[in-house]
Amino acid sequence: MDELPSRRVVAIPEILCLIIDVLDLSTLRTASLVCKAWHRYARQILWRQVIIVKDWFNHDLSPLYAILEHQGTVVKALSLELAPATRTKPNPDMDAIQRQLASLLSRLPNLESLNLQVPRELKSSIVRTVAEHAKQLREFETDLLDWESEDVAALLTACPNVRLIAGNYFTGGVLKAIATTQPALTRIDSTHPVFDENDFITFVQQLPDLVQLCVSSHQGLTTKALYAIAEYCHKIEHLGFYFCLSLQSSGFQALFKACTNLRVLDLGLSGAYDADITLVAAQCPNLEKLKLPFCSNLTHTSILAIVQSCRHLKYLDISWCDKVQLSIFNPATPWACEKLRYLDISGIHASFEAEASVASTFLPSMYQQLGRFKHLEQLKLSGLKFSLCLMDQGRPYLSGLRRLEILDITKLMNPLPWKTIVEIGNWYPWLKDYQFRSSDVIPPREILEMAAIEKIPNGYVLGEPSASARLQSTKAGLESMTGVENGDQHSSTATSDTSDTSTPPSSKRKRSRSPSPSPSSHSSSSCAEGEHLKELGELSIYNESVVDGIVKTRLRSGLEISFRISGEEEEGSEDDTPFSGGFPGGTPF
């Protein structure tokens, strides 16, 4: 590969970086093969983040090690993940885990971010291995449960550039070790902490430069802690108190008056009131992300204040705030946050006081407002206790959200026909995730008929031989109308009454130009049958397949969606559940 001629615009490093940085991974891989210059810049993105999924210390990583000999210097972020079953497995091999971790980190000299998942029984001494081999570390996240303050001090002493530490079950000793050895720390995130309120107050007094402070699931923090933050930490930009139920409104009032630089706020499952969130709208004009799920004290008053004042808002989660009504979409007060990318209004307008008539009144306004969010990438409308009227009222506006990647319509009040589900999914060319339940779907009629026939052994109905013959010929007629993909021939062979086995219907179908059922399948209801054949022809456009009672089809975006004919949800094992943390967009191995 040769260098591009310097007269080309793309040879200018700054322009080339801007172009390469917006390419998707597939295009980026291809671009890396064009020339040395493109390869040099592309590899910095392709290998910037590496994710090792499921049981990172049990894999043979020799192939990865060979790659890291050439690419290891550009890796900035590493996520080491575990399957849930491995995480709870007793008696882990500590020595093997340490050797694998040391072998990995020694090949990544410029590593800055590490997300480390370990078995539950592992001790915090594992962080000493990190301290030995990751001197450039700036961000450290882990799910360790058993902490020793000496290990934390060793890590922060060996890695003086650490600015973020996130973990579970931090003790008062851990907070003291952090404040003593790393006073320049700017971000901390603690879930299920076991430190007391006095330890926390001492900690924030010693770290006045904190810009991120997140504490989740701590019922011992009171208004006293909020007053301490308001007094000492004026630089806070990212604040979170998820599921901290002892915090009161007076503390929030003092905090939001002092911390006016907030960009991210998470008060999910908290006791925040309208007055608190209205104060955020007035004091924090630069707010970009607001998470308020399950805040039962909030109404439409505070949410209206937010969406009309915070013009830079990109992320809004008010899911399951049951007292928030659809009047937040009042056409007389349009939203000012037109750059919104994430919106979750699942479960709103659900309290006993909310009337269905109010929902129907504001539903058109809701869709008009949603249609203005041209940058919207994720929309969640789950669990709404009123009819969405997606096709009648929503289509003109929702179909214009061309950047939408994730759509959630689970727990519909009124199930939708499968054809409608597919049509909605096809509105969005970049759709990556489409969430609905099998019970949200009305299966196509011909699929139900074929499924019912399949449940009858050999097509025989006890005591009704004539009915058995009719079922066999009906089945053959349905099969004759069902084509298969990939060039397979249409099946039109009927099974005789004396046959021991019946031919199953084809599991995949495409549109048949002139479906011709067998003569025996004709009935006197020609009009109804004509409508049935028309429905079959229309639905076969989607190239559905039916396997083991599951109907599948592929949308125009390439996303495959499915539902169970029985309406029951598929039970997945824990091992099949993807881990939600880590570094999105990284290179999985």
Task: Return the pLDDT at 27.
Answer: 87
Does 322 score more than 50 pLDDT? yes
pLDDT tier, 466 (very low <50, low <70, confident <90, very high otherwise): very low
Whether residue 483 contacts residue 510, with contact meaning beta carbons closer than 8 Å, is answered with: yes
pTM of the prediction?
0.80
Other residues' Cβ atoms within 10 Å of the Cβ of residue 121: 14
Whether residue 245 contacts residue 219, with contact meaning beta carbons closer than 8 Å, is answered with: yes
Output the six-digit token pair for 325. Answer: 């009504």
Most confident of 357-366, 369-378, 499-508: 369-378
Q: Which residue has the higher pLDDT, 238 or 355?
A: 238
Output the six-digit token pair for 444. Answer: 């196509």
Residue spans per domain, the chain = 1-46, 445-543
Q: Which residue has the higher pLDDT, 11 or 345?
A: 345
pLDDT tens digit string along 291-310? Answer: 999 999 999 999 999 999 99
SS3 116: strand
Q: What's the CA gap between 9 and 16, in Å, rounded?
A: 8
| Cβ burial, residue 23 (10 Å; 0-12/13-18/19+) | middle
DSSP 570: P
DSSP 402: T
For the chain, give the percent of residues with pLDDT over 90. 65
Output the six-digit token pair for 348. Answer: 């709103």
DSSP lists the bridge partners of residue 342 as 315, 378
Task: Return the pLDDT at 580.
Answer: 30
Please state the rounded mean pLDDT for residues 527-549: 54
Whether residue 326 contacts residue 303, with contact meaning beta carbons closer than 8 Å, is answered with: no
For the chain, give the percent of residues with pLDDT over 70. 78
- 498's CB contacts (< 8 A; 6+ apart) are none
Cα-flanking dihedrals φ and ψ of residue 139, to 5°? -135, 130
If you search the block for the tokens 């901290």, which residue do you land on? 244
Does 191 score more than 60 pLDDT? yes
Helices 445-454, 465-480: crossing angle, 10 deg rounding: 130
Q: What's the CA gap between 582 and 50, in Å, rounded?
A: 10
Which strand (E) or helix (H) includes residue 265? strand 264-266
Q: What's the CA gap between 360 and 322, in Å, rounded?
A: 17
Cα 244 off chain centre by:
24
Q: Which amino acid is at 259?
A: C
List Cα–Cα distances, 562 to 378, 434, 441, 555, 565, in angstroms. Answer: 20, 10, 10, 11, 10
Q: Which amino acid is at 402?
A: R
Does 430 score more than 80 pLDDT? yes
CA torsion through residues 586, 587, 588, 589, sign: negative
Nearest C-alpha neighbor of 183 from the set 217, 114, 232: 232
CA dihedral 419, 424, 430, 434 (to 10 degrees): -80
pLDDT tier, 453 (very low <50, low <70, confident <90, very high otherwise): low
Cα-flanking dihedrals φ and ψ of residue 201, to 5°? -65, -40
Task: Return the pLDDT at 587.
Answer: 46
| Cβ burial, residue 415 (10 Å; 0-12/13-18/19+) | middle
| Cβ burial, residue 389 (10 Å; 0-12/13-18/19+) | middle
Task: Return the pLDDT at 549.
Answer: 87
Largest CA distance in the chain: 88
DSSP lists the bridge partners of residue 213 as 188, 239
If you search the block for the tokens 């009858």, which residue do you land on? 456
Cα-flanking dihedrals φ and ψ of residue 27, to 5°? -65, -35
Ranges of H-type helices in 407-524:
418-425, 445-454, 465-480
Does 160 score more than 90 pLDDT? yes
